[in-house]
Structure 1
Amino acid sequence: MAFKQDINVFVGTRTGVFKGVKLCETVAIEKNLSGLGLNPLQDEITAAGWGDSDEKDILLGLVNQTVKVYDTELHTFTSNFNAKCGEGSIRGISRYNGSILTAVESGELNLWTEGSTPRIKQSIKTGPCIDRMRQNPYEKEIIAVGGQESDLSLWNLEAEEKCTFRAKNVPHNYLQLRVPIWVSDIAFMQNSQKIATCSRYGHLRLYDTKAQRRPVISMDIPEQALTSISACSKEHHVIVGSGTGLLMMVDLRGKGLQSNRYKGFAGGVRDIVCHPTDPYILSVSLDRYLRLHHLHSKELLQKVYLKSKLNCLLMRSDFSLKVEEEESSDEDDTLQEAPRNSGVKDSAEAAKEMDIIFSEMDSDMPNKTSKLKKIKSLESQFEGKRKPDMSSVIPQKRKKKIKK
């Protein structure tokens, strides 16, 4: 589709500006998709998500609980309504069965009907202090939420009993003190029922919803406030970012193992998106840079300065750094042939010019030989006037002076 070839990365900022970026192998093109006269206290973009499977519509959730719908084909906002319900900003947004799903900090999970007068179709109270809401990409009716002192919980929009899973905290530590909870992000693992979460207290946990309520793997990353997590194309691995600019890959097998670390950050990582099949990692941070890393080689492939503090990120599923070559028409073929013919003419003319230069060089040779003869005659005259060689003269001994 034509609209997919224009922009392949979309970024939401703290100032409310919605940006689009076209990333290629050699160049990155940035474009502001919204106006600049915005109020950060009301227009900050706190959540973003795709509105359909074709990735044509983009859903944006603002700090003042306003929902905007951006059409990537028409390059304009097609819908804008107030989704006021509960307190706090929108912490997650998605679409389910033609309706828009939003989650706010106070724990209200609402399903809104679209139209001239949107209304609440379904409402669920999940719990207080929600930091993140994620929709299962493989089972759209499953919603995961978590936050400060609100552990991971799964909600089914179609089931009668909405809450299908509620995580249980790990046992007390070695001092017999309760381990605090602050879920900052959630990731659904590929081709499995497992879910990974990260915490502001440095906890990285993996849950198996069919096995037990407590995590099957629990890792501690000391002195790091983990802010974002994403499942990558490598099986059983996730990418984790922290508030100190740490971005690394973690192997969630056995007891868990930290592997690759990706460098270049000067601010806290805000959001991470990994390509589902290719080895690409996209991230945004508070240093206002959009970065693209290679999953295996850890190489920084692209780095784009976007002039604003960045919050959230979207990447197309067909993302690629290679530019697709369009089919050339007959007119293009004729235009390409013309330079080739002119190049042949240019080479022939150049050969003629070189022949003229060499002929002139041959004509100048007699003058050069006559000059050389004159120089040799002058040298012979000069040698005749030189001083005699003193090497054959026997040196005389000096008489010693007799002291009186």
Structure 2
Amino acid sequence: MCAKNMSYKSDLNVFVGAKTGILKGVKLCENVAIEKNLNGLNLNPREDEISAIGWGDSEEKEILLGLANQVVKVYDSEHLAFTSSLNTKCGEGTIRGVSRCNKSIVTAVESGEVSLWSDGESAKLEETIKTGPCLERMRHSSYDREIIAVGGKESDLSLWNLEAKEKCVFRAKNVPHNHLQLRVPIWVSDMAFLPGSQKVVTCSRYGHLRLYDPKAQRRPVLNMEIPEQALTTISACNKENHIVVGSGTGLMMLVDLRGKGLQMHHYKGFVGGIRDIACHPTDPYILSVSLDRFLRLHNLNTKALLHKVYLKSKLNCVLMRSDFSLKEVKIEKSYENDEVEELLIPNDPQDEKEAAKEMDLIFNEMDSAATRKSSKSKSIKSIDSKCLSKRKLEKTQFPPLKKKKKQKEVI
């Protein structure tokens, strides 16, 4: 594959949006972490805060940034530059979700308006859907790009079809009253679509974790409660029927959604509240950002902390490439028609085996040299010991003669 098609993917594999409005690009390898600011530092945190982030195309070249002042910026990761800035003023509050549906840009704001905008030099409003007040998060479906999910404070989960005439296709129903016959409050903070299905998982600021199946019923098919935790973000992982959830107290855990639900792994190392989580679709990697200004990479299975990068700003959201990997790549050059092209080729397992064989030969030679030196030193030591023993024998067999004192002659 040509370098022009792969260079933008091999350069930066993680993108992070900060509370100060800075977009940071990070390159994570096995032993190296490189971070880079992708926009200027003269920003107003109240207006330029990055509150939402998402991919603008399937090739993962464009990155959509939703700002607090309802401006959507488009960043080109191939040319490392901002290509457009669209004013998407509609409703009130900050942008809580941004994505692309066909050729339109979709935005959702706190007041509950979900809007479709034409992508061009000047954004034109195509359609507006009123979903409900106090919206906290909008997520796009992974199996159907026409379906979005929204939820918020006293606004339960609802699914909307952006292309159909009847926009609302599912609206969740609250669970029954508790044992004191009191209504259970609702505050949906985030949601995630399970891969390969229409099921949706939501987390709540009140510690509720609920699994919905739109084909089965309106009420959740699974209702878990994590006491004394304000759950803030959720993400589906590479394990089937498992999700990773984070809280405002710095707790991140793996949850099994089968049966009645089970809390499994707890991932340590957090100090501030977790704002966003991104899991790899096929590999056991978990990326997370928190208010303690660190970007962390955990292993899903071993719970090991693989990377911890200090990014100097309070972080809101994170975006991971679908081909994210910690393995480094080799760069080779091909000379054709007096032109130089850099080809990025992943490590070949045969080359790794040959390199391992060469290293084994080097260490074997080192071992043989060490044995020679040790044998020489042993022979020298044996010679020295023989000489010392001979000297000892001489001393014992032939003791030194004592000198007699001369007596003075008396006259």
In 2, Cα distance between equivalents of 1:371 and 1:231: 77
Tell me which residue corresponds to 1:78.
Answer: 83
- Return the match for 1:143 from 129, 136, 148: 148
- Confirm whether residue 171 of structure 1 aligns to residue 176 of structure 2: yes
AA at the equivalent of 1:133: M
Q: CA deviation at 1:377?
A: 9.0
Tell me which residue corresponds to 1:181.
Answer: 186
- Confirm whether residue 297 of structure 1 aligns to residue 295 of structure 2: no
For residues 279-290 of structure 1, the aligned pairs below 5 Å read 279-290=284-295
Runs of at least 5 residues in structure 2 that lack an aligned partner in the other structure = 1-5, 341-357, 359-364, 404-411
Q: Deviations over 1:32-61 (max 9, x none)?
A: 001111111111100000000000000000
In 2, Cα distance between equivalents of 1:234 and 1:114: 36
Q: CA deviation at 1:374?
A: 11
In 2, Cα distance between equivalents of 1:206 and 1:50: 26
Q: Deviations over 1:302-353 (max 9, x none)?
A: 111111110000000000000122346699xxxxxxxx9xxxxxx9xxx9xx
In 1, Cα distance between equivalents of 2:160 and 2:87: 24
Secondary structure, counterpart of 1:41 in structure 2: helix
Secondary structure, counterpart of 1:3 in structure 2: helix
In 2, Cα distance between equivalents of 1:36 and 1:236: 42
Secondary structure, counterpart of 1:296 in structure 2: coil
Q: CA deviation at 1:384?
A: 3.7
TM-score after normalising by structure 1: 0.83
Q: Identity over the aligned pairs, expressed in percent?
A: 68
- Return the match for 1:38 from 36, 40, 43: 43
- Confirm whether residue 58 of structure 1 aligns to residue 63 of structure 2: yes
**Aligned residue pairs, count:** 360
Tell me which residue corresponds to 2:250.
Answer: 245
In 2, Cα distance between equivalents of 1:373 and 1:299: 63
Tell me which residue corresponds to 1:232.
Answer: 237
RMSD: 2.7
Q: CA deviation at 1:267?
A: 1.0
Secondary structure, counterpart of 2:331 in structure 1: coil
**Greater Cα offset, 102-111 or 370-379:** 370-379
Q: Deviations over 1:183-230 (max 9, x none)?
A: 000100011111000000000000000000000000000000000000
- Return the match for 1:265 from 257, 270, 281: 270
Tell me which residue corresponds to 1:326.
Answer: 331
AA at the equivalent of 1:97: N
Secondary structure, counterpart of 1:325 in structure 2: strand
TM-score after normalising by structure 2: 0.82
Runs of at least 5 residues in structure 1 that lack an aligned partner in the other structure = 332-339, 341-346, 387-404
Q: Is the 8 A contact 2:143 2:198 kept in 1?
A: no
In 1, Cα distance between equivalents of 2:100 and 2:39: 22
AA at the equivalent of 1:79: S
Q: CA deviation at 1:174?
A: 0.6
Q: Deviations over 1:53-89 (max 9, x none)?
A: 0000000001111110000011010001211111100
